[in-house]
Copies of this chain bind each other. A is one copy, B any other.
Amino acid sequence: MTRTRSHPKPLETESSLDTRARLIDAAGEEFAEHGFAKATVRDICARAGANIAAVNYHFRDKETLYLETLRHAHRYSITHYPHDGGLHADAPASDRLRAFVRAFLAKMLDAKRPRWHGRLISREMTEPTPAFSLLLEEGVRPQFGALCAIVRELAPSIKDVQIEAGAASVIGQALHYHHCNLMMKRLYAERKDGFPFDLEFLTDHITEFSLSAFEGLERKVRMNDARQSHRRQNKQRVRESKGRNR
């Protein structure tokens, strides 16, 4: 028997679901804290109050446990933090941007119970595993698309590449406080006022910063277009006046 047990996905009795759930929870914390490679099955089981063999029994192996944990985190994420932030699609684009930014930040910085969800997902970005595709197609791509739609409304005159780069700028700002959390906290460690960036402040800042940027870009493009069409009109006028004089 090469597989240790039959693994017809064990029936979800009361107690089995219990340790299974506890395992996923413990695994989430360990994986988030140490990464896939350094997190040990022993530590996970210890934290879950389960035997070492539990991982092999309920999941097939460490990797499947990781994948299942990530799936769990992802499902939680998309149900608890919808892109629109609970805002109607016909709300003003600037409001929808703010809602998007807040939802995005909250997803990562939220102090709510399973605080490891964000860390797990961001780890996946820098060192992808087989679960990467799932995350990309069901998480990132639709979210990025929604943001692009908002940006297009905010700055309708700019090119598509610029819209996508702008969306990336918004996301980049938000992710920064996630990736470099430790760095920022240490950077502000000796300040007496501490780390001044909470969810509300960051939502405001990133939204205002980005709105200003999009307004500016839009205006520049419009001015440029106006100049060019002005030039064209001049040429045409010259031509017309030439024709009239003839």
A133, chain B: closest CB distance, angstroms:
8
User: Hey, which chain B residues are within 8 Å of A210, CB to CB?
Assistant: 213
Check: A53 CB closer than 8 A to any chain B CB.
no
Tell whether, in the assembled complex, residue B35 and residue A127 are in contact, meaning their CB atoms are under 8 Å apart.
Answer: yes
**Is A176 located at the chain interface by the 8 A CB criterion?**
yes
Binding site for B on A (CB under 8 A): 35, 37-38, 122-123, 125-128, 132, 136, 140-141, 144, 161-162, 165-166, 168-169, 171-177, 179-180, 182-184, 186-187, 196-197, 201-202, 205-206, 208-217, 220
> What distance in Å separates the Cβ of A105 from its nearest Cβ neighbour in chain B?
12
**Interface SS, A side:** helix
Q: Lowest 9 CB-CB distances: which A-B pairs, in order?
A: A212-B216, A172-B176, A213-B213, A37-B37, A172-B173, A212-B213, A165-B205, A209-B213, A37-B38
How far, in whole Å, are A161 and B140 apart by their CA atoms in the complex?
Answer: 30
Residues in B with CB closer than 8 Å to A205 are 162, 165-166, 169
Closest B residue by C-beta to A213: B213
In Å, the complex CA distance between A125 and B186 comes to: 11
Nearest B residue (CB) for A141: B187
Please, could you name 21 A-B residue pairs with CB atoms under 8 Å apart, sorted by A? A123-B126, A125-B182, A125-B183, A126-B182, A136-B187, A140-B183, A144-B187, A161-B201, A162-B205, A166-B205, A168-B177, A172-B172, A175-B176, A175-B179, A208-B220, A209-B213, A211-B216, A212-B213, A212-B215, A212-B216, A213-B216
**How far, in angstroms, from A214 to B173 measured CA to CA in the complex?**
15
**A176→B182 contact, CB < 8 A:** no
Which residues of the partner chain B approach A38 to less than 8 Å between Cβ atoms?
37
A132: B residues at CB distance < 8 A: 182, 186
Alpha-carbon separation in the docked complex, A127 to B179 (Å): 10
Q: Give CA–CA (A122, B216) in the complex, Å.
A: 31
Q: Which residues of chain B come closer than 8 Å to A136, judged between CB atoms?
A: 183, 186-187
Please name all residues of chain B whose beta carbon is closer than 8 Å to the beta carbon of A211 when the two chains form the complex: 216
A109 to B55, CA, bound (A): 40
**Residue in B122, B171, B177, B212 whose CB lies within 8 Å of A212:** B212
Can you name the residue of chain B whose Cβ is closest to the Cβ of A171?
Answer: B176
CA distance A12 to B177 in the complex (A): 43
4 more CB-based (< 8 A) A-B contacts, given A125-B179, A211-B216: A122-B126, A126-B179, A165-B205, A168-B173
